[in-house]
Chain A
Amino acid sequence: MSVFRNAGHLFRLAAVFVVGTVAFLVIRAAVVPRSFGEYGHYRGAAISEIASLPLHFAGHQTCETCHTDIAKMKSAGMHAHVNCEACHGPLEKHVKDPSIDPGKPDAAVLCVRCHAASAARPKWFPQVDPAQHSGGIACTTCHNPHNPVIAAGGSK
């Protein structure tokens, strides 16, 4: 056709682009996981993969099925909304096999994580200078961590 006379090089250039685009689409089809976009902008299969990972945390409801006394005490105190495993760590192994003793948390380290005085914490939040407050004595000597306010009957 006369319109396309002497325009062969442009077709060659177009062919390079077409080959490039096709190569991109082929690579994309091969590389992008099949389940991508199944539920959203992520790999759908990732959900079942994550679900099949071993559990570490049991959840406070599981703890409360056996430790009803502690659950009752805790629900009446300031720590009512602190989850068991926030202090005790992951307990799924203990749930599977109750003979496994998860051990008691080290109160000297644990309590000050939240209650050491800091200007960044809200004023209403109970906070102390540990050295001045207890002089190195473990917090649990006086406080029951499951209901820590002494005046509220939470003393040991």
Chain B
Amino acid sequence: MPGVEGYMYPNEVSLYWSVLIVLYPYITGLVAGAFILASLERIFHVEAVKPTYRLALLTALAFLLVAPLPLQLHLGHPERSYEMYLTPHRTSAMAMFGFVYLWYLMAVLVVEIWLDFRADIVALSQTTTGWRRLMYRILTLGSTDVSERALHIDERVGWFVTLIGIPSAFLLHGYVGFIFGSIKANPWWSSPLMPVVFIFSAMVSGIAAVMLVYMAMMRLRREPIDMRCVDKIAQYMMYIFVIDFSLEMLDLVHRIYEADESFRSLNFMVHTKLWFSQVILQICIGTIVPISLIALVQIVKFSEKWRKAIYVVSGSLTLIGVLAMRWNVVIGGQLFSKSFLGYTTYKIALVTREGLLVSIGLMILPLVILAVLVKILPPWPEKSAVSLPAPSVGD
């Protein structure tokens, strides 16, 4: 049989989870990471990253809106998916995740964005005309109270929402790792470290994405990049990346030392089918190179121009590396036989519902949504400082 080596059980020859299931944890990871970056400023008072705070929230929302799409495209009957909310099975992790997603979207992200942008929304509802005015008026929910006290309340409530948001973001992405880590029949996935590794790699990818989006947007707007801010972001990215890499290596060392009955088969797979995507792309190019580059910036004094270039390169490599990690987990876990005697091949289709073109579209879509969100809710300081009318008392 083409693409099959050794002995495969008949139901293992074709993969059930395609590239879309690779994208799903990747996208949710970007959401969680972007939110954690936003919370750095809000909860941990890292003032340097403030310029990216609002952008990080909007990035998280843009990616979160797209996160369920790969799953919907993968489902045989997507029109039935809403039933998960109507009659959820309490023992199903996937069913419960629907509520985690909804909680994170509605109770955390939308509320936090609304509270943070409320003053701008009120101002825009009074300075715009036509359908934009109507849209902003709806977004104000009929309240134009932007008095000092009201904004102070928003600040306090927003802080509390972010505080709840951090464990929620962990839950959101920890679930994805949990789903894989709890599959005891698959030795490539079954590891209690899986949710932790997923969370840390999510933080790394989300931070890298926001850093790149911020740099790109500043360039598009022909504005100077706040180097203090990107220096700090890159630094945090490196710290978290080191933890993430250590955890991944801990998992690897543990597997090698434990060397259970699956080890020979998995070891062979890593040295053959996953050699490029795991060893070269994920570990070398996608992890060691970006960590080393950012570490170098901490040691050697580079000019601003060089630092920018290093951050763009290391941020891009990080995103590629984390995507490769998702690929190696999802696809790698389906390439070997449970008999440990055979291997199959995954050939990505081009123009199918679960093909390459759809995947590329799904990765572009959040950026389009982000562009629209940035247009509706400008995260830039000078835009937020639109002249507000005299604070009204009450609503």
Contact = CB atoms under 8 A, between A and B. Distances in A.
**Chains A and B come from one and the same complex:** yes
B141 interface: yes
A13 B114 contact: yes
Interface size class of A (residues with CB under 8 A): 10 to 19
Contact of A8 (B107, B114, B145, B157): B145
B143 A8 contact: yes
A6 B394 CA distance: 5
A20 to B, nearest CB: 8
Nearest to B9: A120
A27 B140 CA distance: 27
A134 to B, nearest CB: 28
Interface of A: 5-10, 12-13, 16-17, 20, 24, 27-28, 31-32, 36-37, 41
Given A8-B394, A10-B153, A16 B141 contact: yes
B42 to A, nearest CB: 18
Contacts of B143: 8-9, 12
B111 interface: yes
B86 A9 contact: no
A13 B142 CA distance: 10
A36 B394 contact: no
A33 B154 CA distance: 42
The secondary-structure label for the interface of chain A is helix
Contacts of A36: 87
20 contacts: A6-B145, A7-B150, A9-B118, A9-B140, A9-B141, A9-B145, A9-B395, A10-B157, A12-B142, A13-B111, A13-B141, A17-B107, A24-B85, A27-B86, A28-B85, A31-B86, A32-B87, A36-B87, A37-B87, A41-B89
Contacts of A6: 145, 147, 149-150, 153, 393-394
Across the A-B interface, the 7 shortest Cβ-Cβ residue pairs: A9-B143, A6-B150, A12-B141, A8-B395, A6-B149, A28-B86, A7-B153
Contacts of B89: 41
A7 B149 CA distance: 9
Interface of B: 85-87, 89, 106-107, 111, 114, 118, 140-143, 145, 147, 149-150, 153-154, 157, 393-395
A41 B87 contact: yes
Contacts of B86: 27-28, 31-32
A12 to B, nearest CB: 4
B157 to A, nearest CB: 7
Nearest to A7: B153
A13 B153 CA distance: 14
A5 B394 CA distance: 7
A16 B393 CA distance: 22
B96 to A, nearest CB: 14
Contact of B150 (A9, A28, A41): A9
Given A9-B143, A9-B145, A32-B86, 14 more contacts: A6-B393, A6-B394, A7-B150, A8-B143, A9-B141, A9-B154, A10-B157, A12-B141, A13-B114, A16-B141, A17-B107, A20-B106, A28-B86, A41-B89
Q: Interface centre among B118, B141, B142, B394, by most A CB within 10 Å?
A: B141
Nearest to B10: A120
A36 B88 CA distance: 12
B304 to A, nearest CB: 42
A6 B141 CA distance: 14
A146 B37 CA distance: 74
Contacts of B106: 17, 20
A114 B106 CA distance: 57
Contacts of B114: 13
A5 B111 CA distance: 20
